Structure 1
């Protein structure tokens, strides 16, 4: 039986499989980290944002709940740009921030905060500081359970550092040993309703979101699409890929505005949206949400996602079970064909600069068949979806919240979670600087991530939005003179540049044959 809160908390973490700790600690955290158990693995990061992104990537790719150890309110605050991503990606991370001596917190002495639990709200599902040392283990258990229940997401606990050595009582073992089971299936009547709706539909269409991939339901989505003869779209602004992009029923990626989505979906009489919000619009192109003769049905395991949708009928239900059950229940249609998706012609390279199409095509042809793509290069999204084929579950991860700093360090966490597959991180040169310290962690743990930096020397996404919004007279957004090869070598990562396709292909071949992290600075241009 554990004698102290620290020992009991490690036993709680152990029983939940939470032996990976991502951290950037300070003085308040040392009491928790002392006598660190040998069966735990501590992943040190050089910046709290990078630490959070590594944990986010690890949580998504492993399905496990990592612990993130940060220094007081200051460390938690610095991580919040990426913490926002864990909300949208529904990553079950538990953030543990250190607090000063319990009796002195109210005095706001150095590295203390009397409002520590309020800092990450409303981003987290749960945020608390135990009201007494006797409630430390139960509070930690509550955070873990809530993070892991659908909709999954981050939880936060602040613990005064003198609580860790306080003794536990005879009931602590009961708290440590309890389990919590999530909802697992639709009610039979609801399944029949959905089945009947799909069977009666003349021209059904699927719209699939990140929760399909997160719950390993891709194969069930394919089976449902094939039985219905229905095209499958990916919901706009995807953070994961829920459907194989080389499947003949794959329709493409929905645009992120009202008018264009309505135009595409109103060609069908029934739209089934599974595991995605309805819808995450981004660009202002107004119109009616859906045509008069089209009905939308929304299946999600997130009650807030369902409640805030402005149209459609919804079922709160587990994504994987629903797709699997529907794929078995609906009638098989054999008289339907899905129009082939059109692929734009590849772009042309310039002297000393490659078109992004060239880079993605080379990665597709040289990388392993089951390579995992971690993408944070907003201005090259069309090139990626046009030239990369994704056929395996868990093959694509991208920033879910719209901010920067997720991609590069998340690739490190994803490679930790998937040591049997290779990870390639395709990162814009603007994005890379937000999480560049992740390179050190990759080198420190010899994780064979292939980092490809698209060096076009500008914030391309801002230029694109400037054109779309017709905003004139803005300051320049160019990024000249950043030497990513030198930066990578400084962090201990082997690196080289490529200015044309031949150089790139040679560099990629060397990188994928290596058993260490490698960075390739690919000189591209922005149109």
Structure 2
């Protein structure tokens, strides 16, 4: 007779989840001891890093990643990263250990009240009623994570793993779930008609458009329409080639500038995201009166929360591909030339770093971003040129980039990975450098050290007051080296460019991470 543990390993194999991302405790020991040789255990030193690394891995592999967390403490530490995974649309199967089922009623040490601890961020949560239900719950969690595009949680008491499962019992979940590739042809025809009648259409691309199939179909549609393409504000990923002549830039995150930006367009087709992502609250409508907004996304929640005339839940690549067949090519000379700001003379700053990176970054590189005070500048200098060319934390919480970059590299070792991180941001996930070094993740980490939380200082200045928080200066090179990760200090542009000359051409083949502690002058302006 098979045990729950053995049946679970069979489920994980069938789902392609043989990498286990974890920072385990006593409740997970019965599952992990004598791990089968075809599984790979990936240790991180904090649960935020565990989930962040798994999130990057899931994005890179485009399939669910398996996370194992330790009861209340582990799940509690991971909630912020789980929120990021949800908004980043990263499928995760998260098993959370629980105390022994046989004395849970007494609430022994390490008992967790777990079902609601992660709040609304899981796409699905299960606390199996019987040990024998655990493999089925994990199988279903794989489906829920894949099609809900987020973390699915299963809570498993430590004594469940050794219980028997009848070999002929079967799983209470399908072996395979298919979502038919059919689309609503009437809805697509309606969208095509709106575009045909439009005098001045525009497209907004979101993270949900960041697949090779959607890039191809959307690019062909844009070229037939001859219309500009905007990237959603604070997008976790790029949904369109940002070096394309029709790419117009990043949408503003405030209503006033958003309304001004979209004012010339009578039909705005939003692909792969909702309408529209905002940051500071401002009164007034999102778009001018009379403008028609159409949203197409395969995430129902994104469609449901949109301010739109029409919303369609469907695969964006299929809808765009069908629209290409239905819309006529427009004779237009419209094009958008991407404006690259000049690098000013003066102290060494993030602009110098981004300008040098733009010149030397491999075209297929994955750029991971977590630098709040300079993200707008990064977008101006360094475009995403391939699917999955840009990855960021959609939730806005810090601590994502360092572990996610390691996971992206683990998930797809063929592509070079560069993470651009602020020194303040790095403090939220610095433990991930240990895992990056341990597992040979050849990531180039560019840490922009400006001596504090620069974005907070800029926001305080905009508020007209002085910050209550102090600046800080940490020795990131020493911290990285203490965690087993090679690091260098960079204080000038000449040294930076020489380092890029040395490292970037061979980054795809690199087998150890490298941290560059780049000391820069803080920027004086921030506009989300």
* Partner Cα separation in structure 2 for residue 162 and residue 488 of structure 1: 38
**How far, CA to CA, are the matches of 2:384 and 2:346 in structure 1?**
25
Q: Which residue of 2 aligns with 1:408?
A: 402
Normalised to the residue count of structure 1, the TM-score between the two structures is 0.95
In structure 2, how many angstroms separate the alpha carbons of the residues matched to 1:368 and 1:42? Answer: 30
Distance 2:344 2:9 in 1: 54
* 1:96 partner SS: strand
The 2-side partners of 1:446 and 1:134 are apart by: 37
CA distance in 2, matches of 1:496, 1:473: 33
**Which runs of structure 2 are paired with 1:106-505 in the superposition (5 Å)?**
106-113=105-112, 115-149=113-147, 151-175=148-172, 178-214=175-211, 216-350=213-347, 354-468=348-462, 470=463, 472-480=465-473, 482-505=474-497
SS of corresponding position for 1:404: coil
Quick check: 167-176 or 221-230, which moved more? 167-176
What SS does the corresponding residue of 2:21 show, helix, strand or coil?
A: strand
Per the TM alignment, residue 215 of structure 1 is displaced from its structure 2 partner at its CA by 6.8
Give 3-state SS (helix, strand or coil) of 1:405's partner. Answer: coil
Task: State how 1:60-79 maps to structure 2 within 5 Å.
Answer: 60-79=59-78
Q: Which of 503, 514, 521 is 1:525 aligned to?
A: 521
2: CA distance, partners of 1:210 / 1:64: 16
String of CA shifts for 1:50-89, please: whole Å, max 9, x gaps.
Answer: 0100001111121011110111111010011111101101
- 1:39 alignment partner in structure 2: 38
Distance 2:333 2:200 in 1: 9
What's the CA shift string for 1:392-429, capped at 9, x where partnerless? 11111011101100011110000111101111111000
Residue 500 (structure 2) aligns with: 508
State the 1:487 CA deviation. 0.9
**Are 2:243 and 2:338, in contact at CA under 8 Å, matched by a contact in 1?**
no
Q: CA deviation at 1:286?
A: 2.7
CA distance in 1, matches of 2:88, 2:97: 25
Q: Structure 1 residue 342: deviation in Å?
A: 3.2
Structure 1 pair 494–236 and aligned structure 2 pair: CA distance change class (3 A): same
Q: Taking structure 1 as reference, are residues 12 and 230 closer, same or farther at Cα in structure 2, changes over 3 Å only?
A: same
Distance 1:220 1:349 in 2: 44
Q: Residue 258 of structure 1: CA displacement?
A: 1.0
Distance in 2, matches of 1:240 and 1:185, equals 26
Distance 1:22 1:359, change over 3 A: same
**Contact 2:460–2:466 (CA under 8 A) maintained in structure 1:** no
Report SS of the residue matched to 1:273. strand
Please give the alpha-carbon distance, in whole angstroms, between the structure 1 residues aligned to 2:334 and 2:322.
23
2:54 corresponds in structure 1 to: 55
RMSD: 1.6
Structure 1 consecutive aligned stretches of length 4 or more whose deviation exceeds 6 Å: none
Tell me how far 1:101 sits from its aligned partner: 0.8
Shift of 1:447: 1.3
Find the residue that maps to 1:111 and give its secondary structure: coil
Identify the residue that residue 16 of structure 1 maps to in structure 2. 15
Q: Return the TM-score normalized by structure 2.
A: 0.95
Shift of residue 268, structure 1, vs aligned partner? 0.8
> CA 1:302/1:389 → structure 2, altered by over 3 Å: closer, same or farther?
closer
**Distance in 2 between residues matched to 1:176 and 1:307, nearest whole Å:** 28
Q: Which secondary structure does the structure 2 equivalent of 1:192 belong to? A: helix
Distance in 1, matches of 2:398 and 2:157, equals: 32
Cα distance in 2 for residues equivalent to 1:18 and 1:215: 23
**Deviation, structure 1 residue 177:** 6.4
Change (3 A) 1:287 1:412: same
* Conserved 8 A contact 2:126-2:137: yes
Aligned-pair CA distance for 1:172:
4.1
Separation (CA, whole Å) in 2 of partners of 1:371 and 1:335? 32
Contact 1:348 1:355 in 2 (8 A): no
The 3-state SS of whatever aligns with 2:164 is coil
- Greater mean deviation of Cα atoms: 408-417 or 285-294: 285-294
Q: Which has the higher mean CA deviation after the structures are superposed, 255-264 or 310-319? A: 310-319
**CA separation in 2, counterparts of 1:285 and 1:118?**
33
User: Cα–Cα, structure 1 residues 132 and 173, in superposed 2: closer, same or farther, change >3 Å?
Assistant: closer
Question: What runs of 5+ residues in structure 2 fail to find an aligned partner?
Answer: none
**d(CA) in 1 for partners of 2:186 and 2:223?**
24
Q: Contact 1:11–1:176 at 8 Å: present in 2 too?
A: no
Instruction: Point out where structure 1 has 5 or more consecutive residues left out of the alignment.
Output: none
When structure 1 is superposed on structure 2, of 489-498 and 318-327 the one drifting more is 318-327
Total equivalences in the alignment: 519
Task: Measure the CA separation in 2 of the matches of 1:90 and 1:135.
Answer: 27
Rounded Cα–Cα distance in structure 2 between residues aligned with 1:183 and 1:257: 38
> What is the rounded CA distance, in whole Å, between the counterparts of 1:3 and 1:519 in structure 2?
46
